[in-house]
Structure 1
């Protein structure tokens, strides 16, 4: 009688079950969340400037007393739309207008739109004047914050953290893929043992 038969052991060892590693939970970086929220606020403010300038242009053309003011407002609408689209950081925009890739350039464009919205021409309606002031001062503030942050190299910090977040997300995806593959191989191994 062999020692395996004495102890009741079979010729094949039982499969070893390795506990699965804990899933990596990706936490968003609070700094990047603040940057995204600020970008959203800036885009909404630029769209508010678009609305104000459209209303002002319509009033200028409707009364036909200030054609040049209406044309000025049309340019302000186009540039404000461009500011809102630039906040999406769409690669098509930054590819052709490299200055908008940098926060200082983006801030200067926002200040320009704020001044265009506020400065010329004045309309008689008080509600529109109030809306002009609110939108222009908000966009002016956003532009100043962009310029200050650009000068202080906060943009470099943001880009570094974005790269780290992308690499962390990729590592988590790779880990999940490896775990899924391991489970498939374990299932295959159990089928062969049966």
Structure 2
């Protein structure tokens, strides 16, 4: 063992555990320092690739969160339009609308308020209407709100309100369909995960 190079000896002159690897490197003309640098570079490359992949996933999640915010804003605006439309028609056509039509419009207004609270994620509201936390159920509820509004267009079909109500009701049903499909795809978990990540970064 006395003819071994110094780098091949451990404490007390004993050979190191990776002696065979280093002897192979020396026979190939590779210096120990070069071998260590190559190993460090090999260890760094996967980490860099993983970092790039993480940044790509983060970018996709951020774009998804922007889409969810846009969808929430659009839904709130549609709900406000439904409320305003029903309130104005009740006021303007009170003598021409039957009691059944007035009651259905009142329910449309009430359910539209529920839509706004659900999109704002008001905890006191979702505590009592927990089914709206689940996007498939939320989507079906939004479709129902759109159907109520659409059903009442017959009462105002002779006026300019009919076409306007049709557009609003179909948009509300479309948003409900989007929520239903997103819920089936479990996209709510993506939204919550991205929110948690942003909260951790800002903390």
The TM-score, its normalising length taken from structure 1, stands at 0.68
Aligned counterparts, 1:87-126, within 5 A:
87-120=119-152, 121-126=154-159
1:69 corresponding residue in structure 2:
101
Give unpaired runs (5+ residues) of structure 1. 1-26, 171-194
The Cα shift of 1:68 comes to 1.8
**Aligned-pair CA distance for 1:125:** 4.4
Q: Which runs of 4+ in 1 moved over 4 A?
A: none
1:126 alignment partner, SS class: coil
Higher helix share: 2
8 Å CA contact retained: 1:107, 1:145:
yes
Which residue of 1 is the match for residue 87 of structure 2? Answer: 54
Residues 1:125 and 1:51: Cα distance change in structure 2 (over 3 Å): farther
Unaligned residue ranges in structure 2 (runs of 5+): 1-58
Looking at structure 2, the residues matched to 39 and 75 of structure 1 have their Cα atoms a distance apart, in angstroms, of 21
Inter-partner Cα distance in structure 2 for 1:45 and 1:165:
28
Which of residues 108, 123, 137 in structure 1 aligns to 2:170? 137
Aligned residue runs from structure 1 range 1-194, under 5 A: 29-63=62-96, 65-120=97-152, 121-170=154-203
Aligned equivalents of 1:124, 1:152: Cα separation in 2: 38
Secondary structure (helix, strand or coil) at the match of 1:107 reads helix
Residues 84-105 of structure 1: CA deviation (Å, up to 9, x unaligned): 2211111112111110111111
Residues 50 and 80, structure 1, Cα contact 8 Å, conserved in 2: yes
* Cα distance in structure 1, aligned partners of 2:172 and 2:100: 24
Calculate the aligned-residue CA RMSD, in Å: 1.8
The answer on whether the counterparts of 1:52 and 1:132 sit within 8 Å (CA) in structure 2 is yes
Deviation at 1:34, TM superposition (A): 1.3
Count of aligned pairs:
143
Displacement of 1:60 in angstroms is 4.4
Contact 1:60 1:66 in 2 (8 A): no
**Alignment partners' CA distance in 1, 2:150 and 2:72:** 21
Q: TM-score by structure 2 length?
A: 0.65
Say if 1:106 and 1:146, in contact at 8 Å, map to a contact too: yes
Does the 8 Å contact 1:107/1:146 carry over to 2? yes
